[in-house]
Amino acid sequence: MTVQMEFIIITGLSGAGKSVAMKNMEDIGFYCVDNIPPVLVPTFYELCEKSTDEHMKKIAVVTDIRAGDVFDDLFDSLAKLRAVHKKYKILFLDARDDVLLRRFKETRRKHPLSDNSATTELAVTLERELLMPVKARADYVIDTSLLSPTQLKERITSLFLGNISLGLTVTCMSFGFKYGLPAEADLVFDVRCLPNPFYIPELKEHTGLEACVYDYVMQFEQSGGFAERMIDLVDYSLPLYLSEGKSQLVIGIGCTGGKHRSVTLTRVLYNHILETGQRAIVHHRDINKN
């Protein structure tokens, strides 16, 4: 029986976490190559495909702006792969400008596009502009601005530990509006209109992962009505996204702090999607924040 090769191209902004992502991919069994010139991607793909080594059937390669001008060859390489019906996925790592600048300052690293006349701020802006076409074609986008290394590992593991050829993966993400919208979200639901357990003293320090909070939120008619309509919209939308060839759909559900109502409704949606047989993962972005 021929094993379908999984081939992931990791790219994105400098400082967004590509190296961490590559290490995470190694941890779940991918053979990883860092900083490969884009022009060599088709050749490397062919070599991996011909290999009889089982370890060469799950491949992740990192290619980014460090390759300099030859990074422009990426689209040509991708076109060559598509022309001969070679399957691959693109994982794009992103982060807010202020977060990237802070990371470069903390690590005292030089941005790959920095030179004697360019500040780090200008380099980040330029790189973002150069990578916009790549991000637009990415199958998976992860914004690491508010993710700890552990949370990024959880996202990577959830996305790629299983068989990525099974089609659309739905990520159900709870978040707190006070910490910002999840940049990678395709759909966002605002549940701040629902009764808030935060104002119930005995519930304030608990989360939507616990029965006391979950039961409190879902006992209200408006919560059930909101969940029903949210599920109806998602059920209608999923086949449409699937028909467009989308690999990942990120659904964000937000409340004020990301601990109570958003976590509860995210659990409701996640469980429903699993019951329909669709591949889904859950991520509570801000549940541990103060």
Kindly report the CATH number assigned to the domain that includes residue 49: 3.40.50.300
Which tens digits make up the pLDDT trace of 124-134?
A: 998 999 899 88
How far apart CA 56 and CA 159 sit, in angstroms, is: 19
Q: Which contacts (CB < 8 Å, 24+ apart) does range 267-275 have?
A: 267/208, 267/209, 267/214, 268/218, 268/227, 268/231, 269/172, 269/227, 269/230, 269/231, 269/234, 270/172, 272/231, 272/234, 273/170, 273/172, 273/234, 273/238
| Cα–Cα nearest to 174, from 213, 135, 222 | 213
Residues 142, 39: one domain?
yes
Number of domains in the chain: 2
Residues 33, 73: one domain?
yes
Residue 133 burial by CB count (10 A; 0-12/13-18/19+): exposed, middle or buried?
exposed
How far apart CA 4 and CA 189 sit, in angstroms, is: 36
Residues 174, 233: one domain?
yes
- What is residue 1's predicted lDDT score, i.e. its pLDDT? 46
Residue 123 counted as domain residue: yes
Residues 237, 263: one domain?
yes
Residue 289 counted as domain residue: no
Q: What percent of the chain has pLDDT over 90?
A: 62
Q: Is this prediction's pTM over 0.85?
A: no
8 A C-beta contact, residue 197 and residue 276:
no
- The boundaries of the domain holding residue 261 are 169-284
Beta-strand pair 31-33/140-143: unpaired
